[in-house]
Amino acid sequence: MEKNAKIYVAGHRGMVGGALVRRLQQAGYQNIVTRTSKELDLRNKQAVDTFFAEEKPEYVFLAAAKVGGILANNTYRADFLLDNLQIQNNVIQASFDQSVKKLLFLGSSCIYPKMAPQPIKEEYLLTGTLEATNEPYALAKIAGLKLCEAFRDQHGSNYISAMPTNLYGPGDNYDLQNSHVLPALLRKFHEAKESDAPEVEVWGTGTPRREFLHVDDLADACLHLMLHYNGKEPVNVGTGEDLTIRELVELVRDTVGYKGNIRFNTDKPDGTPRKLLDVSKLAEAGWKYKISLPEGIREVYKEAFQAVPAV
């Protein structure tokens, strides 16, 4: 991928897209094309076709998606399925129509079966039932991944797919109704500390295990894959390490400095019991994460919630 190549990052206002733009710029890529959702509705096929015909990007990072946590996924099921199908279908089709040299599609680790053996290998895809709460989103992402494979099989298109684990980092969503577990916990504990609340409620039992990757590490991995990987098979992107939700809660509590009690509401859903990715394929491709979870959480909390002292 030449330094002056025209690169389209779809979804650059999101956490992943923003990290991709930062990483590309750090690496010396300056010809980056972006559009906000107001400027270009990726659900609108005609608008996407016109954009691609006018801009003719050579490389595409497809990071645009409708995303959210358990509550949002389970509440807006039709939106999550339809919006994501439309976004990825339009971008992948337009990429083919305009002879894009290479496309990287970002899936999600939630596309794997709920009870998949751990750690999860790429070949476990479609071997079991999905987690019910985020099934619509997962089905859309599976369709996108398979569409990339189908274009490769039928037309020889160099479309690759990456499956990131749970992400966090700059630009995350801290809305308690729609956010993922880590940013939601940061906000809960910060607000409890600020208000001197005696207790913080956490959904579930605290026993599920989760893996977390800093979004800047994901962006680095995506650039690495774009430069060095041309395989048909999707690639897991993660740390290969996990911890329990209880351990995560305690880590966030200590980072924030909250001194009150923690109450696990076992009437609320846990989601998948464990979700740890096997990252051996990514390791074979020559990549490993750099940002540790305690370090990453400290930086994210500082950026998102702690006021910068006046100079």
Please give the DSSP secondary-structure letter assigned to residue 200.
E
Residue 210's alpha-carbon distances to 111, 115, 168, 246, 274, in angstroms, are 15, 14, 12, 10, 6
Which H or E run contains 139?
Answer: helix 135-155
Question: Is 255 within a domain?
Answer: no
pLDDT at position 308 is 47
Average pLDDT over residues 3-21: 97
pLDDT at position 307 is 57
Contact present, 20 and 71 (Cβ < 8 Å): no
Question: Is 199 within a domain?
Answer: no
Residues forming the annotated binding site for substrate? 188, 203, 210, 270
pTM of the prediction?
Answer: 0.93
Active site residues: 137
Interatomic CA distance for residues 140 and 43, integer angstroms: 13
Kind of pairing between the strands at 59-62 and 102-106: parallel
Q: Is 72 exposed, middle or buried (0-12, 13-18, 19+ CB in 10 A)?
A: buried
Q: Which stretch, 46-50, 201-205, 269-273, has highest mean pLDDT?
A: 46-50
pLDDT at position 134 is 85
> Per-residue pLDDT tens for 173-223?
888 776 788 999 999 999 999 999 999 999 899 999 999 999 999 999 999
**Number of domains within the chain:** 1
Average pLDDT over residues 40-66: 97
Residues forming the annotated binding site? 11-17, 106-109, 141, 164-167, 180, 188, 203, 210, 270
Q: Residue 159: name the closest of 90, 100, 227, 246 by CA.
A: 100
Question: Is 43 within a domain?
Answer: yes
Question: Is 257 within a domain?
Answer: no
Residues forming the annotated binding site for NADP(+)? 11-17, 106-109, 141, 164-167, 180
Please give the DSSP secondary-structure letter assigned to residue 119.
S
Interatomic CA distance for residues 41 and 44, integer angstroms: 6
Interatomic CA distance for residues 212 and 293, integer angstroms: 7
Question: Is 79 within a domain?
Answer: yes
DSSP string, 244-265: EHHHHHHHHHHHHT--SEEEEE
Residue 167's alpha-carbon distances to 69, 89, 175, 217, 296, in angstroms, are 12, 24, 15, 10, 11
Question: Is 23 within a domain?
Answer: yes
What CATH number is given to the structural domain containing 123? Answer: 3.40.50.720
The proportion of the chain whose per-residue pLDDT surpasses 70, expressed as a percent, equals 97
Contact present, 226 and 236 (Cβ < 8 Å): no
DSSP string, 76-87: SHHHHHHHHHHH
User: In 162-290, which ranges are continuous DSSP H helix?
Assistant: 181-195, 215-228, 245-256, 280-284
User: In 66-134, which ranges are continuous DSSP H helix?
Assistant: 70-75, 77-97
Question: Is 197 within a domain?
Answer: no
Question: Is 154 within a domain?
Answer: yes
Contact present, 134 and 183 (Cβ < 8 Å): no
Question: Please, what is the end-to-end C-alpha distance for the chain in angstroms?
Answer: 42
> Per-residue pLDDT tens for 90-134?
999 999 999 999 999 999 998 999 889 999 999 999 999 998 888
- Give bridge partners of residue 9 from the DSSP assignment: 61
Tokens read off for 70: 């358990």
Q: Which domain holds residue 153?
A: 7-171+212-240+276-291
Interatomic CA distance for residues 248 and 226, integer angstroms: 32
